[in-house]
Chains A and B, each alone.
Chain A
Amino acid sequence: MKGSLIILSFFATGLLLGIFRWLPAEILHLNFSFYVLCALMFAVGISIGNDPNSLRQFRSLNPRFIFLPLMTVAGTFLGVVAVSFFLKNRSMTDCLSVGAGFGYYSLSSILITQYKGVELGTIALLSNIFREVITLLLAPWMVKYFGKLSPISAGGATTMDTTFPVIVRNSGKDYSILSIYHGLVMDLSVPFFVTFFCSL
């Protein structure tokens, strides 16, 4: 939660500086953010390749639950497609690329801004922040009515960091490895799905 507040405050600071023109607009025309994005993806790649433990942890996983990330992907895309019928000015692929953020708002909004423009990038940022907040607030209710896997699916790519404590508290300690595994798989899938839907 503290991490998302810091990120939101960076976004808000930029927003205010932009609205009141306290910074020269030339910064935006330099395509500066594209180079920073490439640097970010490079760094994300290094962190994945450099961590052999992440693969080793999966051995202690209940094999039946391995499919949970697939359920999360299928459920998310179906839900987003359903909503896209009500948003007449948004194409289905636009909605799918927002949904493919799976709560990973920082990376997905950055990618979508780069591929599809600032407007959809803003929707992606807000939508994926909402997803995280909904999971944080409603996790107890989800477990009660939809079983112990439901907050993990709802949390999407955030289940190994920001929503992890809430999941462990509500689903139980037995689900902590599943939660980390799910978050890792979803994390990795975000750049691929977002790029895929944006290129359609």
Chain B
Amino acid sequence: MFTVLSFMFAGIAIGYLLRNKKIRFIHWVITTLIWLLLFLLGLEVGANETIVRQFGKLGFEAFLLAGGATLGSVVFAWILWLAVRNKTVKA
């Protein structure tokens, strides 16, 4: 599992060592790899009959999780907003 993270750290180190030499094509590489991986994810999901059969149920669970995550962070951002604004008004 941590193999993946060590690859990232190796990348950070190499990117930092080469910081005087702009590696412009890296964003193109990232985008292409992401496309390839999502294609493979789709392939894996599609070939898995159990998941295809409950796709609607998975979508519903995903929607609930997205709603909870978004609402929670909006409320917490609101708390920071009110705290900072009150301080600014007092000052």
- List chain A residues, Cβ under 8 A from B69: 75-76, 79-80, 83, 99, 102, 127, 131, 156
Q: Are B77 and A72 in contact (CB under 8 A)?
A: yes
Q: Please pick, from B29, B74, B85, the residue contacting A43 in the complex, using a CB distance under 8 A.
A: B29
What size tier do the contact residues of chain B reach?
A: 35 or more
Q: Are A19 and B13 in contact (CB under 8 A)?
A: no
- Interface members, chain B 50-85 (any A CB < 8 Å): 50-52, 55, 58-59, 61-82, 84-85
Q: How many residues of A are counted as interface, with CB atoms below 8 angstroms from the partner's CB atoms?
A: 96
Bound Cα distance from A79 to B40, whole angstroms: 30
B79 to chain A, nearest CB (A): 7
Q: Are A130 and B62 in contact (CB under 8 A)?
A: yes
Chain A residue at minimal CB-CB distance from B81: A147
A18 to chain B, nearest CB (A): 2
B27 to chain A, nearest CB (A): 6
- List chain B residues, Cβ under 8 A from A156: 69, 73
A-B contacts, 10 of them at CB < 8 A, read A14-B40, A18-B42, A49-B17, A50-B16, A51-B15, A106-B37, A113-B41, A126-B62, A130-B63, A142-B74
